[in-house]
Structure 1
Amino acid sequence: MQKMQENTVASELINFLNDSPTAFHAVEEAKKRLRNAGYEQVSERQDWNLEAGKRYFFTRNHSTIVAFAIGNKFEAGNGFYIVGAHTDSPCLKLKPVSKVTKGGYLKVGVQTYGSGLWHTWFDRDLTVAGRVIIKEEKDGSVSYSHRLVRIEEPIMRVPTIAIHLDRNVNSDGFKVNTETQLLPVLATSIKTELNKAIAESDPLKSEETLADGKNSDKVMIKSKHHSLVLEMIANQIGCKVDDICDFELQVCDTQPSVIAGAAKEFIFSGRLDNLCSSFCSLKALIDATSSESDLKDESGVRMVALFDHEEVGSNSAQGAGSPVMLDALSRITSSFDSDSKSIPIGKGYYISQAYGFDPHWYVEEQKLEMSKGLLPKAIQLSYLVSADMAHALHPNYMDKHEENHQPKLHGGLVIKHNANQRYATNAVTSFLFREIASKHNIPTQDFVVRNDMACGSTIGPILASGVGIRTVDVGAPQLSMHSIREMCAVDDVKHSYEHFKAFFQDFSNLDAKITVDI
C-alpha cells in the first residue's frame, strides 16, 4: 500500500512537470487542480466576499498563485498556516529582438535567466514555450488576450564545438560565453531561401510600409523575430501571425520527465527546483481541505503561495519581495473584520486599516497615524514553511558537504539552517516542523553549508523580514540542481507531500501548546 502511494504521488508529479514547461503553465496547471477540488477564483481587482469554510485562489501575472482554505472557526486576527514555494527555474529566455542570422544560420537570441548550469543546455533537443499577447477582433471591436503556447517538437539546438577545434576542453574545462556561444540554432539560411520570393512580395515587409506607419505593429513583430518562430506560434494558438502583439517565451528541453533508475527510485526531470515543492505543497493543501470535515475545527487559514522570480531575487510585482503575501493576509483578515475600513492615504491609493502599521505614514507632507488593526496579531500567530529544494550529498563530491550535515536521497525533507540568516529557520520553527514529522513517523534531515563556502538563499528570509512571520526553511534533497536535467528520489516526493499535509492538519493544535514566552 505504501509503495502504491509513493508511485501515485510521484506519477502525479511527473504529469505536473510534463505539463509545466514554464511558470505560466505551472500556474495554469495549479488552477485546474484547484478548480477540480472546488476552489473558487477571486480577482485582486475586485472586492472579495469570503466565507468561513470556503476555499479560494487568485493569481498575479499568471505566474504567481495563492490558494487558501478558511477554517470554519476562523475569526479576524487568527493565524495563517502557509507553505511557500516558487514556480520559476533557471532557463534561457528569448530576447525582445531574437532574430539573429550569422554564418548561414538562423539563430535565436536568448538571455540567461537565473544561475543555470549553462553547459548542460548544449546538445539538447530544445523548443520554446511561454505566453503570447494576441489581438482579437469581433463584431468590429478589438480586445487583447493572454494565451499559453508550447511547441511540442524539437525545433532548435545549441551544438557544442568538436573536440578537434577545442583540444584543451577536457583539461581546461568547458567554458561558455553566454552571449556569443549559447544561441540555439533554428535553421539554415539555405532552407529559408525557398520562401524568399514570398517574403519579398509581402507588403508588410517593405520599407515603404514601415516608413508610412501603415501596419507598423505587424512589421515590428516580424522584424524582431524569425518568421519560422512566429508561424509556429500562430499555428499552435490558432491565430494569424499579424494577431501576435508580443510574447514572453523561454527555451525548454523536450525530453519528458520520468520515473527512472535501475530500481525506479529516481525522478529525472528539468525544473524539479522548484516545481517539486510547488506540486507537493499544492497537492497537500487540496487533500487537507477536500471535505467539509477537514475545516470543521480549523481556526486558521491554510494557504499555499507559489511565487515567480525567486531565481532572480524575487524583486518583482509577483515575486516574494512584493506585497502579494501581505496583500493576501490583509484582505482575508479585513473580510472578517466588521470594523475594518479603507482610509485614503494618497492620490488614488487606499490602504486597509487591517494593515495596522505603526509608526506613521507620510502622505503629501502630512503625517497620518493609522490605528492598530488585527493583521499584526494574525501575523504573529502565523507560520510559514519556505519550501525550496535542497542539496543532497553528491557521491562524487562528498567534500562539498560539512561532515555532520550530509542530506541523502530518501531521507525526507531537509531543514536548512544558516547563522547569517540566508535561511530563516530558528530553534522554535524547526522544532515545530520536526514535531509534526515525529508524530507521523516522517523522516527529516538537517543542513548547514560549510563555513568556507557561500550559501544560497530562498524566499524564506524575504518573507520573514518583510512580513514578520515565523519561518522555517526546508526542501527535498536533489542532485544536479540548476541543470537542464535534475534528479530526486521518489521517496522524498512522498515524504514532502505527507509532511506538508500533516502540517496543514496539525499545526493549529500543536502551536496552541507553545507558551507565549517562547
Structure 2
Amino acid sequence: MALLRLHLLRPPPRPLPALSSPWRRALPATAAAAPAVASSRLLCSNSNYPAAAPSPSIVGGLLDYLNESWTQFHATAEAKRQLLDAGFKLLSENDDWDLQPGGRYFFTRNMSCLVAFAVGEKYRVGNGFNIIAAHTDSPCLKLKPKSASFKSGHQMVNVQTYGGGLWHTWFDRDLTLAGRVILKAADGSFKHKLVKVSRPLIRVPTLAIHLDRTVNSDGFKPNLENHLAPLLATKCEETTVNSDDKKGSSSTKIAHHPLLLQVLSEEIGCGTDEIIGMELNVCDTQPSCLGGGNNEFIYSGRLDNLASCYCALRSLMDSSKMSEQLSNEKAIRMIALFDNEEVGSNSMQGAGAPTMFQAMRRIVDSLMHQSMGEGALERAITSSFLVSADMAHALHPNYPDKHEEHHRPELQRGLVIKHNANQRYATSAVTAFLFKEIARIHNLPVQEFVVRNDMGCGSTIGPILASGVGIRTVDCGIPQLSMHSVREMCGKEDIDTAYKHFKAFFEMFSDIDQKLNVDF
C-alpha cells in the first residue's frame, strides 16, 4: 500500500443564522486565564520561549459548530464557511494551484473531507508539514437506497447501521434526518444541496416492559434488522405509489415515502419531482449544551470526532490569521479532516485515500519555482509531523476496572497520548516526547493511555497515514465518556486545553523539532 501511494504521489455559502442556545448563559463572561509562564529549563535547549497571551475559551464556538454539524457534510460546510470568513482561499482539485509563501488555502472533497493549510513566509522547498488530522464522521443510522417500508399499517423508514454505534441508545430519542440531496432543475442541470430537518421527524420506540418481562435480567438485545427501523407515520398517504403506477414514476418516488419527500421538499424549497437522489443520516434533535452541577461538561452527539475537528480548525485559523504569525514560519501548517474513519477509512474521502499526500505533492510542486535538487517531496515528508487527533476513553467511575491501573485518563486533565505496542496507535517514544515538550513549555496537562492486555484495542487514522509514506505521528485525543452513544460527554476544560496544545504545536513545533535528531 505504501509503495502504491508513493507511486501516486510522483507522477461562499450564505452565513448560517446565529443560534439562540441556552448554554451561552452558562459560559464565563471573561476569557480563560492565561497559561502559567513556562520554566526556562528546556530538555532540548536552554532557550526561553515568550509567555503565551491569554486565550479566550472556544467552548461556545464548539457548541455552535456541533449544533450546525449534524452530518459529516454539514461539518465540512461549516468549516468551509469559517475558513472563508477567516480569509482562506478556496482551491479546486481540478484546477492549477498558484501558491505563495504566507498564503492560506483549503479545498474540500465530497463535501465530507477538507484539507486546509497556511504556508510559512520562510518556507523553502524540502521543509516539512506540521499536520493535525481528524475525522468528520460518527456512528449513526443511514437511510437505505429504498427506505420506504410498511409494518402493520405503519410507515417505517429502512435504515442501515454505520460504524460501531451503541445502538440501544438510539431508541426512544426524538430523531430526524439530515444530509444531502441531488436536485434536477427544469433546464436539465443538477444541483447538490445540504438539508437538515430540525424538528423531530422519526422515532425508534422500545417494546414496553409488560411485553418483554425479562429485558432487565436478560439484557436489551434488539435485532438490528427487525427492531431498529424508525417510525415515520401511521396513516398511509393516498399519494403512495401503487404497483400499477410504478412504470410512470421516478425511482425516487418508488424508493421513498411520498410523505418523506414532501417534508424534504418543504425544507429545501423545491418540488418533490426535483429530488432525484439523497444521502441522509438519522440525527438526534437534542441540542449540544453544557451540563453538570458546575456546568463543566459538554453533552452532545458526535463529539467523536467533531470536537477534535473544531479544535484543529480553530488552532489553524487562530495561529495564522495575521501575516506576522507566519513571518518566521519555515514549515507548512495543515489540517486534514477525513470521512469514513468509523468504517475503516477506505474511501475516496477517507484517510485511506492519498488525498493528503497528493495535496502535499501539489503544494511542493507549486512552491518549487526553481530546481531545488532531487527528492523535494520525500525530504518534506521526512521532515513532517502528524498529530492524529481522535477522542480518548476517559476513566468511567462506575467501571474503573476497564482501564489499565497506571494509565487511567480522567476528564478535565488534558489531552491523552495513546500508546500501543502492536501499532494500533502510531505513537513512538520520540513523537510522544516532542508533543509533550510543547505541553511542558506551555504548562499544559498531558495524560497517557494504554489498553489492558486482556482487552482489544481500537485504532485511528494515525497508523493509516503514518504507514502511507512514513510520516512521524503521535496519536492523541480529548478524554470522553459514552463514546459512540447517541449522546456523549466530555469536559469543558479539556476542549480549551486541546485548542491551546494544538495552537502551540503550529506555532512552535518547527523550532523544537530541529533540536532533536534521531537518525544522523
**Which of the residues 263, 286, 302 maps onto 1:232?**
263
Shift of 1:142: 2.1
1:187 is matched with which residue? 233
Q: Could you tell me how far apart the structure 1 residues matched to 2:148 and 2:242 are? A: 17
CA contact (8 A) 1:6 1:491 kept: no
Q: Could you tell me how far apart the structure 1 residues matched to 2:487 and 2:177 are? A: 16
Q: What code does the residue aligned with 1:254 have? A: T
**Which of the residues 149, 156, 160 maps onto 2:206?**
160
**Which of the residues 57, 72, 90 maps onto 2:106?**
57
Shift of 1:372: 5.1
Residues 498-513 of structure 1: pairs in structure 2 closer than 5 A: 498-513=500-515
Q: 2:71 matched to 1:40?
A: no
**Which of the residues 304, 322, 335 maps onto 2:366?**
335
Q: Could you tell me how far apart the structure 2 residues matched to 1:7 and 1:381 are? A: 32
2:122 is matched with which residue? 73
**Which of the residues 67, 71, 79 maps onto 1:18?**
67
Q: Could you tell me how far apart the structure 2 residues matched to 1:389 and 1:206 are? A: 48
Q: Closer, same or farther in 2 for the Cα pair 1:395/1:207, shift >3 Å?
A: closer
Q: 2:436 matched to 1:425?
A: no
How big is each residue's C-alpha offset from its partner over 1:108-155, in whole Å with a ceiling of 9 and x where there is no partner? 000000000000000000000000011123xxx321111000000001
Q: Could you tell me how far apart the structure 2 residues matched to 1:234 and 1:164 are? A: 40
Shift of 1:498: 0.3
Q: What code does the residue aligned with 1:118 have? A: W
Q: Closer, same or farther in 2 for the Cα pair 1:160/1:208, shift >3 Å?
A: closer
CA contact (8 A) 1:6 1:490 kept: no
Q: Closer, same or farther in 2 for the Cα pair 1:483/1:206, shift >3 Å?
A: closer
Q: Could you tell me how far apart the structure 2 residues matched to 1:275 and 1:508 are? A: 27
Q: Could you tell me how far apart the structure 1 residues matched to 2:464 and 2:374 are? A: 24
CA contact (8 A) 2:73 2:112 kept: yes
Residues 369-380 of structure 1: pairs in structure 2 closer than 5 A: 373-380=375-382
Q: Which sections of structure 1, spanning at least 5 residues, go unmatched?
A: 341-353, 355-370
CA contact (8 A) 1:298 1:508 kept: yes
2:394 is matched with which residue? 392
Shift of 1:89: 0.1
Q: Could you tell me how far apart the structure 1 residues matched to 2:216 and 2:56 are? A: 39
Shift of 1:11: 1.0
In structure 1, the residue corresponding to 2:310 is in which secondary structure?
helix
Residues 255-334 of structure 1: pairs in structure 2 closer than 5 A: 255-334=286-365
1:343 is matched with which residue? none
Q: What code does the residue aligned with 1:124 have? A: R
Q: What code does the residue aligned with 1:166 have? A: D
Q: Could you tell me how far apart the structure 1 residues matched to 2:384 and 2:216 are? A: 52
Q: Could you tell me how far apart the structure 1 residues matched to 2:320 and 2:504 are? A: 12
In structure 2, the residue corresponding to 1:98 is in which secondary structure?
strand
Q: Could you tell me how far apart the structure 2 residues matched to 1:167 and 1:449 are? A: 37
How big is each residue's C-alpha offset from its partner over 1:348-407, in whole Å with a ceiling of 9 and x where there is no partner? xxxxxx9xxxxxxxxxxxxxxxx9531110000000000000000000000000000000
Shift of 1:2: 5.2
TM-score (normalised: structure 1): 0.89
Residues 234-253 of structure 1: pairs in structure 2 closer than 5 A: 234-253=265-284
How big is each residue's C-alpha offset from its partner over 1:25-52, in whole Å with a ceiling of 9 and x where there is no partner? 0001001110111000000011111111
2:44 is matched with which residue? none
In structure 1, the residue corresponding to 2:58 is in which secondary structure?
helix
CA contact (8 A) 2:31 2:57 kept: no
CA contact (8 A) 1:6 1:493 kept: no
Residues 113-132 of structure 1: pairs in structure 2 closer than 5 A: 113-132=162-181
Shift of 1:8: 3.5
In structure 2, the residue corresponding to 1:293 is in which secondary structure?
helix
Q: What code does the residue aligned with 1:186 have? A: L
Shift of 1:338: 3.4
Number of residues paired by the alignment? 471
Q: Closer, same or farther in 2 for the Cα pair 1:440/1:2, shift >3 Å?
A: farther
In structure 2, the residue corresponding to 1:8 is in which secondary structure?
coil
Residues 401-420 of structure 1: pairs in structure 2 closer than 5 A: 401-420=403-422
How big is each residue's C-alpha offset from its partner over 1:209-243, in whole Å with a ceiling of 9 and x where there is no partner? 644xx5x5xx2101100111111111111111100
Q: Could you tell me how far apart the structure 2 residues matched to 1:206 and 1:312 are? A: 37
2:153 is matched with which residue? 104
Shift of 1:512: 1.0
Q: Which sections of structure 2, spanning at least 5 residues, go unmatched?
A: 1-29, 34-53
How big is each residue's C-alpha offset from its partner over 1:142-176, in whole Å with a ceiling of 9 and x where there is no partner? 21111000000001110000111111111111112
Residues 347-386 of structure 1: pairs in structure 2 closer than 5 A: 373-386=375-388
Q: Could you tell me how far apart the structure 2 residues matched to 1:514 and 1:307 are? A: 30
Q: Could you tell me how far apart the structure 2 residues matched to 1:87 and 1:319 are? A: 10
1:368 is matched with which residue? none
Q: CA RMSD in A?
A: 1.6
Shift of 1:467: 2.5
In structure 1, the residue corresponding to 2:277 is in which secondary structure?
strand
Shift of 1:517: 2.7
Q: What code does the residue aligned with 1:390 have? A: A
**How much identity, in percent, do the aligned residues show?**
58
Q: Could you tell me how far apart the structure 1 residues matched to 2:297 and 2:167 are? A: 23
In structure 1, the residue corresponding to 2:388 is in which secondary structure?
strand
Q: Closer, same or farther in 2 for the Cα pair 1:332/1:407, shift >3 Å?
A: same
CA contact (8 A) 1:7 1:490 kept: no
Q: Closer, same or farther in 2 for the Cα pair 1:3/1:72, shift >3 Å?
A: closer
Q: Could you tell me how far apart the structure 2 residues matched to 1:179 and 1:515 are? A: 55
TM-score (normalised: structure 2): 0.88
How big is each residue's C-alpha offset from its partner over 1:449-484, in whole Å with a ceiling of 9 and x where there is no partner? 000000000000000001210000000000000000
How big is each residue's C-alpha offset from its partner over 1:250-304, in whole Å with a ceiling of 9 and x where there is no partner? 1000000001111000000000000000001100110000100010011110001
2:220 is matched with which residue? 174
Q: Could you tell me how far apart the structure 2 residues matched to 1:426 and 1:7 are? A: 32
2:498 is matched with which residue? 496
CA contact (8 A) 2:142 2:160 kept: yes
